[in-house]
Amino acid sequence: MQPPLLEINKLSIGFDTPRGPIQPVREVSLSIFPGQTLAVVGESGCGKSVTALSILRLIPQPPGRFLGGQVFLEGRDLLKLPEKQMRQVRGHQIAMIFQEPMTSLNPVYTIGEQIVEAVTLHQHVTRTQAYKIAEKALHDVGIADPRRRLFEYPHQMSGGMRQRVMIAMALSCQPKLLIADEPTTALDVTIQAQILELLQRLQRETGMAIILITHDLGVVAENADVVAVMYASRVVEFAKVEDLFDHPQHPYTQGLLRSVPRLGDTATRLQTIAGTVPNPAQFPAGCKFHPRCPSMQGDMTCATIEPDLREIRPGHWVACHHAQGYSQSPITTPHLDYTHTVPMDLITNRIEPTPAKERTP
Amino acid sequence: MSSIASEPILDRAADVPPPPRSFIAQVMGQAFIRWSARIGAIWIALVAFCAAFAPFIANSEPFILKSRGTLSFPLFRGLHPVDIVLPVATIVGTIVLARRKMQFFASLCLVLWACALTAAASCWPSTADYLKQMQSLFGQSAAIVLLVCFWTGLAAVIVLAPIFISRRSTLITGLCLLPLLIWLMIYPVRPPKTVVYEKYRDLARAGQVDYALYAILPYSPSDRLRDMGDSAFLPPSATHPMGTEYAGADVLSRMIYACRIALAIGLISTGIARLIGVLVGGLMGYFAGTLDILGMRLIEIFEAIPTLFLLITFVAFYGRNLYAMMVIIGITGWTSTARFIRAEFLKLRKQDFVQAAIAAGLPLRSVLFRHMLPNGVTPVLVTTSFGIAAAILYESTLSFLGLGLIDEPSWGQMLNQARGVGASFVWWIAIYPGMAIFLTVLAYNLIGEALRDAIDPHLTKA
Ligand SMILES: Nc1ncnc2c1ncn2[C@@H]1O[C@H](COP(=O)(O)OP(=O)(O)OP(=O)(O)O)[C@@H](O)[C@H]1O
Ligand SMILES: [Mg+2]
């Protein structure tokens, strides 16, 4: 079995805010294999972006602080790398694209100059060659007339085009892992679909892994191989995409899935999860979800002891005292069929989050 | 696939990409649409022109002199390397700017090399003086060792650099620095100082001049008109458009030469200030936290230093020195820039494109100065123009108090000399330099204000 490309092990991050210290990421463990797409979902403020930024050590320090844990990229702990080697990782091995294509490009330089700077930094090529690479990268992401576009400024392009440019820039150095933090949230629906399709195609062509951060469960179903659900700074459920959609184990995941409209659903109103996300400055004791949890039913363990992430089935991890496990045979109800595009073999072969203890750095 | 990339219909001729306009170029364009900024710029350009071409505008020595059958070029013989470098730099710089095709560093390199080469060429006739002066500066053996080492080293570097330096940026930096070095070595060369200006007028009076071509204003600033008897404090007339001063030198000629100090003090001292300010402010804003707090305290310390009194104290202890004045004004005047840049960088470092630049693995140098600085530098343009005005006022004040330079004319020093015999008031020595100071300061302020207004909408838009 192939080793994981990236493995996050009990990562905790703190922020010193004026209202006291908070922990936007607590003991988060994730792993992703080459060629896989890992989706990270969760409500706003649950720590998805902070987790993504911490992989590249882009957390602003201060106010941010690494409180513990490791981030292994092919066995190397990124959190221990000296800054100089970290720069080799950034852009070259792990690339990142951001939510806002309108502000992710430097307004002062042409598209070409920006791509070329990154290319010449990581590859030993002349500027002329770098311009060729940049032109090809723009062509690969489906930008018409790439040669002319190279000499244009970001403000001369639409949002969708800029996101394509960002992807071109990220991929021009052939990274092994692409972190996409809500890459389509700022775009309109048709362009969203195009960008995601583009990412899938590029993934097939290059074999890179993708961490896709999103709010959109439809996007998760269509694009992801594995899913991590985050709630209140923690990963509460981690599973193959079809396991998660067919057998959601954590009450929060179940609530999330119920709050999405489904094909063939006859209910007239969408369900919501009662209550609000807890303030990170004052999380409740015990399970962070228990004040909103429908299946708690007055259980005092939930209110006092925080459940650990445990493996209830091979490859299916849940942090809930009440999670029981389920029978192997998938109960495919027609209206739960989100996963028609995900190649099954890819998922079953590769999912394997290693428990934290097994790893020695 | 690429249905969103809907192309505007282009005619065939527009296939060539239009020359891109940078953000700073846009701001400049917008600022100089204003007539006030344009008038300011025209005045500054006039001052700059006078500064660069001063020896060719006002000079007692004729360009060409034919006397008793022999042809000579006295004006060119008496030129200092600076007098040649300034016009060359101005002309080459203007051409490079006007063509707009070249990269910034390439054009800078070209201008610097043009200067260095003309300076070297202009020194060639006085090589003997050069050796003599180096000897008197450094002592004989040291001078020889220094000279041999420097010039052979320089030749070696020029020949070998392209072979060994593979990185383009290093090569260009080197190419820019070399002419500065050459310039430094040439600087001690001075033309013969014992010019007796009246000898040409004597010749003319004796009827021995067959032919002579003088500059527009045939008086040098140090031309005391000793031969003309009672020539002190002459009011403005056709021969002396702005009159003469206490020793009989032409006021207009001195005004023209004084442009040099006015420009130099403004540009160099604010240059120093901006450099320190950008560096300190940039690091403060980017790293925030402890460094920011320390930097803020440093700024407060420097803001508490009264520049004028420091200048006066310095002059009192160490004597008059223009360069020291520039440095002092520079190292006390960087705080506003640092504050601006810090604020900009604090804002910028959270922006996505900066995050993206860091995420792409770019080194700190590039993130700070290539990606953040151009987006945050525009407020500095404003403080720069106000800073130049302030520096000119400092120099004028100091000179007016009699603590400025003696051997070179400056506007403030002329104001000081407006006190005539027995403390009477000589209006023409007061009015003209006063107006010049006023107009120059006003011009910089007009430009600064236009720039400030021009960047405002951009800041909110970007
Ligand atoms: N620079 C910072 N300083 C202080 N607190 C921060 C900082 N960045 C993030 N946080 C806090 O960390 C928590 C997690 O933020 P994060 O951006 O990871 O949320 P998210 O899951 O990405 O939300 P969204 O879906 O809205 O993007 C939030 O409570 C936020 O207030
Ligand atoms: Mg986010």
Q: Name which residue leads in pLDDT, A139 or B136.
A: A139
User: In this predicted structure, what is the pLDDT of residue B277?
Assistant: 92
Our CA angle for B162, B163, B164, nearest 5°, is 100
pLDDT tens, residue by residue, A5-59? 888 888 899 888 888 888 888 888 888 988 899 999 988 888 888 999 899 888 8
Interchain contact B366–A (C-beta under 8 A): yes
| A147-156, A336-345, B76-85, B436-445: least confident range | A336-345
Residues measured by CB to lie within 5 Å of ligand 2, the ion: A 49
Average pLDDT, chain B: 79
Please indicate, yes or no, if residue B205 is contained in any of the structural domains. no
Split at pLDDT 50, 70, 90, the class of A122 is confident
> Ligand 1, residues A41, A44, A49, A276: which to mutate, most atoms within 8 A of Cβ?
A49
| B24-33, B134-143, B398-407, B422-431: least confident range | B134-143
Average pLDDT over every residue of A327-353? 43
A115: closest CA among A84, A93, A136, A101? A136
**Are B17 and A103 inside 8 Å of each other by CB?**
no
| A108-122, A201-215, B168-182, B356-370: least confident range | B168-182
What predicted TM-score, i.e. pTM, was given to this entire model? 0.74
Where does B187-250 have alpha helices with state H? 198-205
Split at pLDDT 50, 70, 90, the class of B144 is confident
Q: How many domains are there within chain B?
A: 1
**pLDDT of B253 strictly over 60:** yes
Please indicate, yes or no, if residue B399 is contained in any of the structural domains. yes
Q: What is the distance between the alpha carbons of residues A82 and A87, in angstroms, rounded to a whole number?
A: 9
Average pLDDT, chain A: 80
Please indicate, yes or no, if residue B40 is contained in any of the structural domains. no
**pLDDT of A240 strictly over 70:** yes
pLDDT tens, residue by residue, B297-317? 999 999 999 988 999 999 888
| A267-271, B76-80, B137-141, B338-342: least confident range | A267-271
Q: What is the distance between the alpha carbons of residues A182 and B262, in angstroms, rounded to a whole number?
A: 56
User: In this predicted structure, what is the pLDDT of residue A42?
Assistant: 87
User: In this predicted structure, what is the pLDDT of residue A354?
Assistant: 43
pLDDT tens, residue by residue, A179-199? 988 887 777 778 788 888 888
| A262-271, B138-147, B246-255: least confident range | A262-271
The answer to whether B181 and B154 are in contact (CB under 8 A) is yes
User: In this predicted structure, what is the pLDDT of residue B211?
Assistant: 81
Split at pLDDT 50, 70, 90, the class of B11 is very low
Split at pLDDT 50, 70, 90, the class of A345 is very low
A45 alpha carbon – ligand 1 mean position (Å): 5
CB contacts under 8 A, A 167-226 vs B, are 169-170, 190-191, 194, 198
User: In this predicted structure, what is the pLDDT of residue A357?
Assistant: 43
User: In this predicted structure, what is the pLDDT of residue A333?
Assistant: 43
Average pLDDT over every residue of A255-277? 71
Closest residue in A to B350 (Cα–Cα): A60
Hey, which of A290-294, B55-59, B163-167, B458-462 has the most confident mean pLDDT? B55-59
Please indicate, yes or no, if residue B29 is contained in any of the structural domains. no
**pLDDT of A332 strictly over 80:** no
Please indicate, yes or no, if residue B199 is contained in any of the structural domains. no
A309 alpha carbon – ligand 2 mean position (Å): 23
**Alpha-carbon Rg for chain A in angstroms:** 21
Which parts of chain A are beta strand (E)?
6-17, 20-32, 37-42, 64-73, 76-77, 94-97, 177-181, 209-213, 226-231, 234-240, 310-313, 316-318
CB contacts under 8 A, A 109-148 vs B, are 110, 117-118, 121-122, 127, 142-145, 148
B310: closest CA among B384, B392, B394? B394
User: In this predicted structure, what is the pLDDT of residue B328?
Assistant: 92
> Does ligand 1 come within 6 angstroms of the Cβ of A48?
yes
Ligand 1 atom at shortest distance from the alpha carbon of A47: 18
Interface ipTM above 0.85: no
User: In this predicted structure, what is the pLDDT of residue A143?
Assistant: 84
The answer to whether A90 and B358 are in contact (CB under 8 A) is yes
For residue B142, is it left (φ>0), alpha (ψ between -120 and 50) or beta?
alpha
**pLDDT of A346 strictly over 90:** no
User: In this predicted structure, what is the pLDDT of residue B421?
Assistant: 67
**pLDDT of A328 strictly over 90:** no
Percentage, residues of chain B above pLDDT 70: 80
The answer to whether B249 and B221 are in contact (CB under 8 A) is yes
Q: What is the distance between the alpha carbons of residues B52 and B259, in angstroms, rounded to a whole number?
A: 9
Tokens 């979800």 identify what position? A289
User: In this predicted structure, what is the pLDDT of residue A338?
Assistant: 43
Contacts of B297 (CB under 8 A, 6+ apart): none
CATH number at residue B405: 1.10.3720.10
Please indicate, yes or no, if residue B89 is contained in any of the structural domains. no
User: In this predicted structure, what is the pLDDT of residue A210?
Assistant: 92
Please indicate, yes or no, if residue B404 is contained in any of the structural domains. yes
Range of the domain at B281: 251-455
Please indicate, yes or no, if residue B203 is contained in any of the structural domains. no
User: In this predicted structure, what is the pLDDT of residue B19?
Assistant: 44
User: In this predicted structure, what is the pLDDT of residue A329?
Assistant: 55
User: In this predicted structure, what is the pLDDT of residue B303?
Assistant: 92
**pLDDT of A93 strictly over 50:** yes
Tokens 């890819």 identify what position? A346
- In total, chain A counts a number of residues equal to 361
